[in-house]
Each structure stands twice: as structure tokens, then as C-alpha cells.
Amino acid sequence: MLRSGAEHYVVARELAESFRQACGLGEAPVVGRVNPKDLERKTCRHPIFDDRASLIILGTHVTLDAGTGCVHTAPGHGLDDFHVGQQYGLDVFVPVDEAGQFTADFPAMAGVGVFDANPRIIEMLGQKGLLLHAGKIEHQYPHSWRSHKPIIFRATEQWFIDLEVGRIRQLALQAIDQIRWIPEWGRDRIYNMVESRPDWCISRQRAWGVPIPAIRSKATGAVVLDVRILDTVLEVMARKGEDAWWTEPLRDFWPEGFICQETGETSPDQFEKLYDILDVWFDSGATSIAVCEADPKLTMPADLYLEGGDQHRGWFQTSLLLRIAARGEAPFRAAMTHGWVLDGQGEAMSKSKGNVIAPQEIVQTMGADGLRLWVVSEDYRADLTISQDILRRVADAYRRIRNTFKFLIGNLSDFDPERDALPVAELEEFDRWIISALNRLIEKVRHAYERYEFHRIYHLIHNFCSVQLSALYLDVIKDRLYCSAPGDMTRRSAQTACHHLLHNLVRMVAPILVFTADEVWGFARLGPESNVHLASFPTPNESWAAPDLEEKWERLLELRSEVSRVLEEARREKRIGHSLEAAVEISSADEAEVAFLRKNIEILKDLFIVSAVQVQHLQTLESPGRSVTAAAAAGRKCQRCWMIDPAVGQDSAHPGLCGRCLDVIKRIG
Amino acid sequence: MTQQEKTDYKETLNLPRTEFPMQARLPQREPVRFAQWEAEGLSARIVAQHANDPVFCLHDGPPYANGAIHIGHALNKILKDVLIRYKAMSGHKAYYRPGFDCHGLPIEQKVLQKLGGKARKLSPVEIRAECRRYAQKWVDTQREEFKRLGVGGDWDNAYLTMSHETSLGILRAFRDLVARGVVRRGMRPNYWDPVFRTVLAEAEIEYATHVSDSIYVKFPLTEGEAVAGLAGLANVSLVIWTTMAST
């Protein structure tokens, strides 16, 4: 308690200083302490209504972050006030009408809007000497989402779903713990909301909705909502439509021999229809019953609900409460949410900021597949970002994937899997290696789909197409594909691998690139299904896995990177042009490595895409124990395969050909 | 070496051969392909193909039918479609029936705005008819927009909360709640929109900056109240702080 002049003010101790400052009370000293318990149920003079006394009540909803620790309570105009008022049996006094204007219950302000009345009330308080300070504050205040104007709180008669009757809240909370929430934090969010939410007010005073067929006794004013009337209403509406509630007389909905339990009245003429409608959230919340139960193709509970992250407060919650209330069970086994779409700077999109990117525009430039690829490129569990730059990157990724498909299709034009495919176990080692990598990819992609981690699929597929296929495997096998005789076993081996790559990749991307995948499916005649979406998702094939090869090829690929650097340098120094003009020499101090490389010497030339590779053992070599050099290969360039070979020029009929190409030409005649 | 010889050798190579275009031209070609799928009844065929597989049921949360779809809608439907197509391909009977949320204040308000002064002369039934037309227009627009994204499903049988069948179903659900005794009448302070004169749901509230009064008001303790610690003191007031003088 503070003293200022002859006045004593009771405020919360923690807020005394800010109170002094706000009201300009200088050094007003603390002159005593009052236990709030001692004030409980005492009275004050009402500052406005001289004939009313204000009861002092205690509530836990008042916080100490602003004000004085004391608030005025209006049970008719605030939810906290209403709840605490109920505990003390306060009247719900509502001197405000539908338009937000004071009624005759507040004669001095009758007809004045609540917001307009504020300055006049403050003036009244000042005149009565009750105003200690009046200032302005800028704060976050609830507004209507449609009129964008500040709302007021006002008590009216409404219909509610009572969450305590039938233990709806309790059962809903139990159900929440049985549901799988993706991401997991969804569980806490909805649990806390359901735990603390008020009863659900389901009535609206509008026309566009499902009517609540309640009636009111003209004599007593009693409002009646009766299952028997509801049943006849349903019957009549089934025949005449929902407008019937507005168009048909009450007697048409009157059950035979109906006696109103509340009033004892028996005639429809004694009642009038009420025209509230159901909250639109009731509509969507009820679809588990109205739609799913009526459709044999749908099942309840559903396996999954998938919506934006705001639906913990919206549809997930209304659906859950409603089905718990009506059926005693949750409508879904899992609920998954996605984030908001933000612009490239992480800002929300809005018309006023001019940063809106419309799906219709994206579709017109990149197609739906482009947009779909963007969707999976982002981790939807957090907020997603989109901008022209991001879309350009996605478009590049799309082209990479499409190019991969085109390459594979193009090289399979003379390949009939029935006739030409080799068993995977009999493929060239490099081909078996890529099949093993494909198998691993299938495993990972499936796993990511199963866990709904779509962004991982994007990265896996994109990476596979660009790093493993485009920059490596497909580049290396070009020589075999292009230059061998068509039916050559090494070519059929590469084609078999290409066929498996195509057949599996296209099905892995089919759920995402729905159009492109089907286009590929048709071009490649991958059947037997007429449409890729009728095909099955690839499954890992144990016989394709070759962990031993993967280890070996990891070593070779590491060497390949080193060779690439050396070739790049040679190109820069203009010692060679294309890598095929080079001969590579690898010297190693490690005998085991030399042996390993010599054993694989045939592969190395292909792998490095050069014309010759030599491996030598060099005892004297210092750490790191290996050196790679590149020089122009000896011989002339084969006019067919562009490989440099000393043999070019030796055949008089085909002086432009290397030995291998000569052989091919002779075979194909 | 003549040019002729070089060309000869090129023809002996097995260069890639395909009509598969590198230029995807997706904006032009996707709609044609989708129309083909629809003509073939592809979505139904996919479900039929997996008739004997375990069921995977994703129930669609209905978007509100009062405008063209935005990127958030596209994201939502594409995620659903990716998931459902995967489920089907990996061996599930994954029937997808999209829905549309058609009732409610936002549509009614839009319609009333469009009608302007005329609205006051219309009966609820006439307003409902206008709302129905308005909602149906956006349902049709959104349906086409979703299809354009490649989203499969039973679009011809999409559920509309305003359809006769579904509205009755909603009322039947309400009837069941009444029968269970969980629907009650009560007074309650609600968010109240003084412009549209209606109760608002919590979900219909948005927070915005607002300049309010900030006042400190004395509530003088009634004379004669005996409060421990205040004995003998005159002029004692409780001081309240509020931003809303009127309440």
C-alpha cells in the first residue's frame, strides 16, 4: 500500500514502482501491506454505477508484467473474467448490443459504440476524481479476420459442445497420445491446446451453413433442441433440401405426438424456429462422419490427415473433438503437418509486399512437374522457401534428371530386355558396381518415402543422376555403347545396366514427376503396365548388392579423381585437348597397389577416358607414395572412336581405324 | 582422309537414338497427358489394381472454396499426391477423395459485399442460393487448378460440405451429439464482431496492432469494510489498470 497525500493506494508490491512512475506519484512511500486474502469478498464503490458495489475477488489470471495487479472484472465481456466470475457467482451483465453499442442498461452511454465510449467514460472518471492516469498504449489486440476491425467480447446465448460432459476433453487427450504426430512436436502443441481450450461454441448467427434446428417457446422463451425434432428435420431435408428449415413451417418438422419436455407444450404453433447455423469448423470437423462413414471406399479411423501446421488449432482439433464426442474414437491414426511457404528472404508472402509467387505462374513456366520437384526439394516439416532463384535451381535439377532419362532411353533403342539382357551376375564389373549402387539407392529412397522424408528423395535422386551417372558411369560407358559392335557382350552388359537404371529410376520418381515419368515410360516401352502409375515401386534386390565391389571401386574412383586433376592441368597447359588424347602413367611405391592396379588395367583406360594407362612400381618415390602424370598418347587418332592408338594406319583398307574399331567394322560388315 | 570416310564411320557407331525430347514443354504437354489419364479413368484403375492390397486412407482436409489456390494449397495437395501415389505403387489400396469446404462467413460476407444494398431485401434462402453459386464457382476453379498440378484422385466424386448428401451427414453428426447430451445452450462472452454482428471462432481471430487507452482507476474501498492491515486508514482505494475503459 502506498500513501500519496491523503490517499492510500493498494497495488501489487512488484508493480509499485512502475505504478508510481506511470501515475506521477513521486516518492509515494509504502505505508503498509495488505494480504490479498483479507480483501477477498470485500466491496468497493463502483466508479461508474453509483448504485452498484464492486466485489473484490481473487484470480490467478492476472499477471505481473503490467498494470497494478488489480483489474476490473466484467464477466460478460472477457473469457477469464467470465470464468473467475463464475467461481464468485457474479452476474453476467451485458449492457452492449449486437452492433457493439451500449444498451439502455447503461443510460449515460446508450447507443454509443464501445470504442467511442472509451474517451467519454474516461472523462466521467476524471470528473469523479477516480482517474489517476490516462495514457495510450500500442499493443496486439484481437481483430476479426474478415472485417479486420477490433472485436469486442460480449456474452450471448449460444450452442456449445460441452467438453466435460462425456469426458470429451479427457478422451481427446488420451487419444492424442495414441496418435502419431509428424513432426513429433505436434503432439505437445495440440495436447496443450485441447487441455486448456474452452467449450466449443458451434453456433453462428448467419445464413450460409447447416441449420441448427432449435425452437423457442413463444410463451416461456425456453429454447429446445430435441433429437426427435432433429430426426424429422433430417427426414424432411432428405426430401426437400436444407433450405426447408427456412422455407417450411414448423409443423412440417413436428414429430407426431411430440410433447416438449421442457415446457409441456404440444403444438408447433406454440413455438418458433431459430435460425442459427453451425460453425463452419463443425462442417469440416464432421466429415469423418458425414463423408467417410457414408463412403465404403473410405475407412475410419483414417491412416493419415495431412495439413498445414496451423491445423492443430483448426481441423485436426475439431475433427478429433467431434469424433470423440460422437463416436468415442479419434478420426486418424497419424497427423502430419507442413510449414508455411516463405519468399527467398524468409518473409511471409503478401499482396502488399508484392512477393507472392502463384502456383499458376510456376506451372506456366516450369510445368506441374517443376513445381512438384520444388515441393519435394524442400523439407516441408519446417517452413519452405521459394524464389525465382530457388526455382531456377530446381529447373536445373529437373533438366539433369530428364537428360539422364533421355540418355538411357537413347542407348536402349536397339535393346530388347527379353532378348538382350544379361543376368546381373554376368555383367561387366563396372556395370555390376552401378547396379549395386542402384540397389542401395532403391533402399534409401524407399526408406525416405516410408518416413515421408521427401526432400531426401530429391537429394538422393539428383545426386545419383548428376554425380554417379552423368559425371561418371554414363560418361565411362559411352565408348562401349557407341563404339562396340551392337551385339557385343560388353555393350549388352552396359545396356542391361542402363535398362535397370531406367526401369527403376523412372518408378522411383513417378510419385513426384508424374508427367515426366509417364512420358519416359511410354517412350521406353517399359511395360507391361500401360502407365507408370500402374507399375510397382522398385524393391531392393539382394542379389544386386555387391559390397565387395563397392569397396574396390571406391579405391578406383579415388584414383580417378586424382587422374582428373592431372588431366585438367595438362589441358590447361595445352599438352592435350580431349582426355582421350592422353596417356596416363601411375607410379606407386606400394607394391600391393601396383598389383591391384595392374590387375585392373583394362578397366582403368575406360574409367579415366584416356587412350593408354601404364602402371609402374617405383621404389624411390617419396610420400604420398604415388604419382600420376599425363602426356600425349603415342599414335594417331582413330577416326571412329577418337582413341589414340599406335595401330591406327596399319590397315590399308581402313587406315583411319584403331585395332578395336577395325575389328568391329569387320564384324558388322 | 576425306570427309566422306569420316561420315561413314559415324554411321557405324551406335549413337543414342530417341524421339524423347530434351525440351520438355511441360506447360503445353502436361494438360494433354492429364486429360488422357482422365479419359482412361487412371485414378480408378490404380485403386482397382490394388484392390486386394492393404488399405491406406488419407482423408482430405477440405480447402475453403473462396478463391484461386495459392502456393500453400499447391504444397498441401502435391504432398498428399506424392504420398498416395507412393502408397499405391508400394502395394496399397489408396483411394483419395478430395473435398471442399463451402459454407461459412467468409463466403457469405463476400457475397453480401457483392450484393451491396440489395442484400437487405433478400431472404436467407436467396442469400444461401447466392452463396452456393459463389462457392460452386470456386470449387470448379480450384478443382481444375489442383488437377493441373497432376493431383490424382476421385475428382468427379469430390465431397462438398454444401452438397445435399454431406450437409445432411453433418446434421446427422450434430444429431448424434445432441443425442449424447454434449450440446448445451449457454451464455458466454465470445469474440464478437460488431461489424458483422456475429460470434467469431477463435480461428477467426487475428491479432493486429491497436492503440488503446491505458488508464489507472481508483476503486475506493467501501466505508466500513474491516480489512486487516487497513484499520484506521481513510481514503483507501484499490487501483486497477485497464486498456478498455468501457469494461
Residue range A180-219, pLDDT digits in tens? 999 999 999 999 999 998 889 899 888 999 999 999 999 9
| C-alpha–C-alpha distance, residues A107 and A495, integer Å | 92
Question: Which chain B residues have a beta carbon less than 8 Å from that of A193?
Answer: none
Residue with cell 466500513: B224
Residue range A366-416, pLDDT digits in tens? 999 999 999 999 999 999 999 999 999 999 999 999 999 999 999 999 999
Asked if B235's CB is within 8 angstroms of A6's CB, the reply is yes
Q: What is the pLDDT of residue A86?
A: 66
In the predicted model, is pLDDT for residue B143 greater than 80? yes
- Chain A nearest-CA distance from B203, in A, is 7
Determine contact: B46 vs chain A, CB below 8 A.
yes
- The domain made up of A391-545 has a fold known as Isoleucyl-tRNA Synthetase; Domain 1 (1.10.730)
Q: Do domains A2-127 and A391-545 have the same CATH topology?
A: no
In the predicted model, is pLDDT for residue A446 greater than 80? yes
Write the CB contacts of A313 (distance below 8 Å, at least 6 apart in sequence): A193, B202, B203
Higher-pLDDT residue of A221 and A126 is: A221
Asked if B228's CB is within 8 angstroms of A38's CB, the reply is yes
> Is the bond preceding A624 in cis, omega lying within 30 degrees of 0?
yes
Asked if B128's CB is within 8 angstroms of A286's CB, the reply is no
Mean pLDDT across the stretch B56-77? 96
Q: What is the pLDDT of residue A592?
A: 87
| C-alpha–C-alpha distance, residues A159 and A164, integer Å | 15
Chain B contacts in chain A segment 345-374 (CB below 8 A) = 349, 356-360, 363-372
Asked if A157's CB is within 8 angstroms of B186's CB, the reply is yes
| C-alpha–C-alpha distance, residues A277 and A207, integer Å | 7
Residue in A149, A238, A402 closest to B168 by CB: A238
Please spell the DSSP secondary structure of A570-591, one letter per residue: HHHTTS-SSGGGEEEEEEES-H
Interhelix angle A359-377/B124-148, rounded to 10 degrees, is 60
Q: What is the pLDDT of residue A22?
A: 76
C-alpha grid cell, residue A85: 466470475
- Chain B nearest-CA distance from A558, in A, is 29
Determine contact: A222 vs chain B, CB below 8 A.
no
CATH class for the region spanning A565-634: alpha beta
Residue with cell 470485500: A42
Determine contact: B217 vs chain A, CB below 8 A.
yes
C-alpha grid cell, residue A169: 476433453
Higher-pLDDT residue of B97 and B206 is: B97
Residue in A6, A118, A280 closest to B105 by CB: A280
Q: What is the pLDDT of residue A92?
A: 72
C-alpha dist (Å) from residue A518 to A508, A535, B154 = 12, 10, 20
Q: What is the pLDDT of residue A87?
A: 67
- Chain B nearest-CA distance from A570, in A, is 28
| C-alpha–C-alpha distance, residues A200 and A282, integer Å | 10
Decide: residue A86, CB within 10 A, 0-12 exposed, 13-18 middle, 19+ buried. Answer: exposed
Chain A contacts in chain B segment 157-176 (CB below 8 A) = 159, 161, 164-176
Question: Which chain A residues have a beta carbon less than 8 Å from that of B168?
Answer: 234, 237-238, 242, 290
Q: What is the pLDDT of residue A23?
A: 75
Higher-pLDDT residue of A478 and B214 is: A478
Asked if A291's CB is within 8 angstroms of B59's CB, the reply is yes
Mean pLDDT across the stretch A127-150? 80
C-alpha grid cell, residue A446: 524407399
- All domains of chain B in start order, with CATH: 26-182 (3.40.50.620)
Higher-pLDDT residue of A144 and A277 is: A277
Nearest residue of A to residue B194, measured between CA atoms: A99
Asked if B230's CB is within 8 angstroms of A1's CB, the reply is yes
Sign for the pseudo-dihedral over CA of A124, A126, A130, A135:
positive
Radius of gyration of chain B (CA): 32
In the predicted model, is pLDDT for residue B2 greater than 50? no
- The CATH architecture annotation of domain A2-127 reads Alpha-Beta Complex (3.90)
| C-alpha–C-alpha distance, residues A202 and A193, integer Å | 17
In the predicted model, is pLDDT for residue B6 greater than 60? no
- Chain A nearest-CA distance from B118, in A, is 16
Asked if B79's CB is within 8 angstroms of A375's CB, the reply is yes
Residue A515 pLDDT level (bands cut at 50, 70, 90): very high
> Is the bond preceding A301 in cis, omega lying within 30 degrees of 0?
yes
Determine contact: A392 vs chain B, CB below 8 A.
no
Asked if B206's CB is within 8 angstroms of A284's CB, the reply is no
What's chain A's average pLDDT? Answer: 90
Residue range A329-340, pLDDT digits in tens? 999 999 999 999
Residue in A247, A288, A484 closest to B125 by CB: A247
| C-alpha–C-alpha distance, residues B11 and A632, integer Å | 28
- Looking at A414-457, which runs of residues are DSSP E strands? none
| C-alpha–C-alpha distance, residues B203 and B182, integer Å | 22
Q: What is the pLDDT of residue A621?
A: 61
Determine contact: B112 vs chain A, CB below 8 A.
no
- The CATH architecture annotation of domain A165-337 reads 3-Layer(aba) Sandwich (3.40)
In the predicted model, is pLDDT for residue B4 greater than 60? no
Mean pLDDT across the stretch A451-465? 96
Residue range B26-66, pLDDT digits in tens? 999 999 999 999 999 999 999 999 999 999 999 999 999 99
Interface A-B, measured as beta-carbon pairs within 8 A, has a size of: 648
Question: Which chain A residues have a beta carbon less than 8 Å from that of B181?
Answer: 165-166
Q: Which residue out of B217, B221, B235 would a mutagenesis test of the A interface target, given it has the greatest number of A Cβ atoms within 10 Å?
A: B217
Domain ranges of chain A: 2-127, 165-337, 391-545, 565-634
C-alpha dist (Å) from residue A523 to A334, A416, A419, A470, B20 = 39, 13, 19, 20, 7
Inter-residue contact A92 to A82 (CB < 8 Å): yes
Residue range A215-261, pLDDT digits in tens? 999 999 999 999 999 999 999 999 999 999 999 999 999 999 999 98
| C-alpha–C-alpha distance, residues A385 and A378, integer Å | 8
Mean pLDDT across the stretch A306-311? 95
Q: What is the pLDDT of residue B50?
A: 96
C-alpha grid cell, residue B125: 434462402
Inter-residue contact B93 to B129 (CB < 8 Å): no
- Looking at B107-197, which runs of residues are DSSP E strands? 159-160, 183-193
Q: What is the pLDDT of residue B231?
A: 67
| C-alpha–C-alpha distance, residues B144 and B147, integer Å | 5
Cβ atoms within 10 Å of B208's Cβ, excluding its own: 12
- Chain B nearest-CA distance from A586, in A, is 31
In chain A, the percentage of residues whose pLDDT exceeds 90 is 63
Q: What is the DSSP letter of A428?
A: -
Decide: residue A411, CB within 10 A, 0-12 exposed, 13-18 middle, 19+ buried. Answer: buried
Per-state percent for chain B, helix, strand, coil, to nearest 5: 45, 20, 35
Residue in B149, B170, B187 closest to A92 by CB: B187
Residue range A260-285, pLDDT digits in tens? 988 999 999 999 999 999 999 999 99
In chain A, the percentage of residues whose pLDDT exceeds 70 is 97
In the predicted model, is pLDDT for residue B7 greater than 90? no
Residue in B83, B111, B164 closest to A241 by CB: B164
Mean pLDDT across the stretch A427-432? 94
In chain B, the percentage of residues whose pLDDT exceeds 90 is 62
Question: Which chain A residues have a beta carbon less than 8 Å from that of B76?
Answer: 306-308, 338
Determine contact: B78 vs chain A, CB below 8 A.
yes
Residue range A52-63, pLDDT digits in tens? 777 777 776 666
